[in-house]
Structure 1
């Protein structure tokens, strides 16, 4: 693979550090990406095609570098790399191999799970929420800019060189399939920003969880040539949700779209309701779009309500707080709901419902009414459901925190659970988790 820069080429960043090109890693619509050696180890260099190396793009990159946006969910531009004549690029961290692109997911080439996909969706929402909270619009949210770890759901947002301060001007409007209808139509005064990002984000979430585009139903099958005019009609002039409750004119085809019919049926109402709202009212009125905080709360609650089927072992999303869960999407057997831990946070009070399935865990964010960020990694572990080593089928909640708990049984007796100790799981058990109240419910 050959590119614009030869191996061994030496360049200097705007802060005076010398880098050396090692090899080309790939190419995209705006430029090529290279592995380079730097004083701080190997990095990635994005180098723009001459047609994209505009003064406007140069200004955007320089502004992004100057912001020094330190967030491990983004491969953010860290240094501007100028050259002559008018060629330039920027440095960023290399993407670890464990992070995979979404096209491989959509082609079913990755082994993952509903829990990992829900986690990736939650982390994606929070990543863009962090960006928006700083007054930055991404403007090109799509399947091509998100990478995720199929086992953990961790995400990396790449290609951040099109993000601009809200209200800033740029020629980038996004990828047609993900663009808000008003941008596709070219409505007067419509321009990319955080409000249009909300539409793009919802399309991405639908594709992550349903493996299908929310506007591609029967109407797309009737299109003989999906050219620009056809795309503008599908996504802009006449967009219609495939599960619009008032209009089935773009419903999924039972044969061609069987996957989305099954995934939609398996999704809990907490998610279906938000998708229905964003792709009906939100298509007509940008102000009616689902906010990041709404997605965050719904995704977290559904993630904590995932259970395994007792017959086939497959993971199932269930409706948070419900006492019955229907049947398994995979084998059709009736699901048995395990006990749940109801956590009541300190003021402002909020309830968290965590299904105590095998291996269930409680993390630091469960104890906070408004966590700044959700983190399901070992580093934030507070409690874990464990099976008794000598009594199969007997479970307890292990204290994985650094502080002792107080447990109150249904008969009113209490006990201390030191870090590392386990309290037997019983309905009605009340726990004081370092100032946060939790109760075990049978269902």
Structure 2
């Protein structure tokens, strides 16, 4: 892109008095344009508002966000206000790395993405918005246009954070119609964007991420001849019906026109289906009963831990965390071979997690916490991994990648110290003390 409000070489002044030089236009949206700039601290992105959006109210919102000093790396948070002599303004933020892609591209499946990355992205999304909500800030416009995704590992990056406001504040932006809570679409008295309406938007985003379809677009959408604003208000606000509402089949997906969501829903574990049904039945009618971020986090994390790779075609399959019968592969239809698994139990409060021991199985730091604040799936967070004995192919053990000494106990009562980078062979009933009152026990089919 070459044309924009600001020319390359334009010099602006940040609120701290330092000079900002425009390098070039990166893109444009509904409120303004984004530029690459040079600053004393290196290159940054600059969002510059269109004159009609550069209001005193918007300036106050941006200054408040900058003042909060939110440094979470999952957000391109406003870092500093930038001004010009004519009364225009914008703000500096970090540049979006090239590895992050837009969700619309993901929904078109432009890259081969497996369930592990999709579930990882879902976990990161709910934890990111939970971190924002815990600070008393509502995002207001959660949608597929404001969050980016790394298809290689599921990392996410939340952009356009100048939409966010303190809970309860009144502002002009209500959100993107497809993602807005029904009470906002209808314009109910007293309804304003809030953390409660964010929860509806988040549920829509998660459904689209995992099911590759909108949760309210079934047969009802196909009956609409012109999807204008009035039709959208009916679809999303006055008469919203979940495509898999157990008590109302009027909006079921059409098998010929909408086969994808029928297929993706059919292979979703019941634990995940249950949350979506709750979100788009009770949650549509009663905002206070919407699924919370912690519920999404815990369920998505459990399902990620219990992915089973098909031995015939190599595809990943989501499985029900608490079910012990293995389903058939969604891709080739062959029966899945359930691997051994660990039952990881924490203390105070006691929680129990199941981790399938496929060839790439890992335990992470969050497995040691009853209520993890954040899931980190990087190599630095690995505390244990499944390892194959190089001298005995087919024989596996659990390698200690932590800095702690483990104590393993076999069913015959014998024990073994497992120092960092040492491996304990896997045997049915083996119990491993991972420290801090956390125990992992090996189970086999």
Normalised to the residue count of structure 2, the TM-score between the two structures is 0.98
| Whole-angstrom distance in 1 between the partners of 2:56 and 2:288 | 33
| Whole-angstrom distance in 2 between the partners of 1:258 and 1:388 | 44
Q: Is the 8 A contact 1:310 1:336 kept in 2?
A: yes
- Deviation string, structure 1 residues 234-256 (Cα, Å, up to 9, x no partner): 00000000001111100001011
The answer to whether 1:313 aligns with 2:314 is: yes
Q: What is the 5 A alignment of 1:105-124?
A: 105-124=106-125
User: Deviation at 1:389?
Assistant: 1.3
Q: Which residue of 1 aligns with 2:362?
A: 361
| Whole-angstrom distance in 1 between the partners of 2:4 and 2:204 | 33
User: Deviation at 1:325?
Assistant: 2.3
Show structure 2 runs of 5+ residues with no match.
none
| Whole-angstrom distance in 1 between the partners of 2:303 and 2:26 | 37
Q: What secondary structure is seen at the aligned counterpart in 2 of 1:438? A: strand
User: Deviation at 1:352?
Assistant: 1.4
Q: What secondary structure is seen at the aligned counterpart in 2 of 1:243? A: coil
Q: Which residue of 2 aligns with 1:407?
A: 408
Q: Is the 8 A contact 1:185 1:232 kept in 2?
A: yes
User: Deviation at 1:86?
Assistant: 2.3
- Deviation string, structure 1 residues 143-200 (Cα, Å, up to 9, x no partner): 0011011111111000000100000110100000000000000011111000000000
| Whole-angstrom distance in 2 between the partners of 1:427 and 1:97 | 45
The answer to whether 1:244 aligns with 2:242 is: no
Q: Which residue of 1 aligns with 2:229?
A: 228
Q: Which residue of 2 aligns with 1:378?
A: 379
| Whole-angstrom distance in 2 between the partners of 1:437 and 1:106 | 39
Q: Which residue of 2 aligns with 1:439?
A: 441
Q: What secondary structure is seen at the aligned counterpart in 2 of 1:397? A: strand
| Whole-angstrom distance in 2 between the partners of 1:110 and 1:77 | 30
User: Deviation at 1:346?
Assistant: 2.0
Q: What secondary structure is seen at the aligned counterpart in 2 of 1:72? A: coil
Q: Which residue of 2 aligns with 1:263?
A: 264
Q: Which residue of 2 aligns with 1:284?
A: 285
Q: Is the 8 A contact 1:362 1:381 kept in 2?
A: yes
Q: Which residue of 1 aligns with 2:197?
A: 196
Q: What secondary structure is seen at the aligned counterpart in 2 of 1:270? A: helix
User: Deviation at 1:111?
Assistant: 2.2
| Whole-angstrom distance in 2 between the partners of 1:389 and 1:253 | 52
- Deviation string, structure 1 residues 294-326 (Cα, Å, up to 9, x no partner): 111101111101110011010000000211121
Q: Which residue of 1 aligns with 2:41?
A: 40
Q: What secondary structure is seen at the aligned counterpart in 1 of 2:171? A: coil
Q: Is the 8 A contact 1:203 1:213 kept in 2?
A: yes
Stretch deviating more after TM superposition (216-225 or 172-181): 216-225
Q: Which residue of 1 aligns with 2:77?
A: 76
- Deviation string, structure 1 residues 69-115 (Cα, Å, up to 9, x no partner): 01011000000001232211000000101111101011111221100
Q: What is the 5 A alignment of 1:155-166?
A: 155-166=156-167
| Whole-angstrom distance in 1 between the partners of 2:355 and 2:166 | 38
| Whole-angstrom distance in 1 between the partners of 2:54 and 2:326 | 54
- Deviation string, structure 1 residues 120-141 (Cα, Å, up to 9, x no partner): 0000000000000000000000
Q: What secondary structure is seen at the aligned counterpart in 2 of 1:124? A: helix
Count of aligned residue pairs for this structure pair: 443
Q: Is the 8 A contact 1:45 1:89 kept in 2?
A: yes
Q: Is the 8 A contact 1:113 1:151 kept in 2?
A: no
| Whole-angstrom distance in 1 between the partners of 2:25 and 2:304 | 39
User: Deviation at 1:17?
Assistant: 1.6
Q: Which residue of 1 aligns with 2:52?
A: 51
- Deviation string, structure 1 residues 268-295 (Cα, Å, up to 9, x no partner): 0111000000100111111111011111
User: Deviation at 1:394?
Assistant: 1.2
Show structure 1 runs of 5+ residues with no match.
none
Q: Which residue of 2 aligns with 1:389?
A: 390
The alignment yields a C-alpha RMSD, in angstroms, of: 0.8
| Whole-angstrom distance in 1 between the partners of 2:33 and 2:192 | 27
The answer to whether 1:173 aligns with 2:174 is: yes
Stretch deviating more after TM superposition (193-202 or 341-350): 341-350
User: Deviation at 1:425?
Assistant: 1.0
| Whole-angstrom distance in 1 between the partners of 2:257 and 2:39 | 49
Q: What secondary structure is seen at the aligned counterpart in 2 of 1:386? A: strand
| Whole-angstrom distance in 1 between the partners of 2:286 and 2:370 | 30
Q: Which residue of 2 aligns with 1:11?
A: 12
| Whole-angstrom distance in 1 between the partners of 2:126 and 2:326 | 26
Q: Is the 8 A contact 1:341 1:355 kept in 2?
A: yes
Q: What secondary structure is seen at the aligned counterpart in 2 of 1:272? A: helix
Q: Is the 8 A contact 1:179 1:199 kept in 2?
A: yes
Q: What is the 5 A alignment of 1:210-225?
A: 210-225=211-226
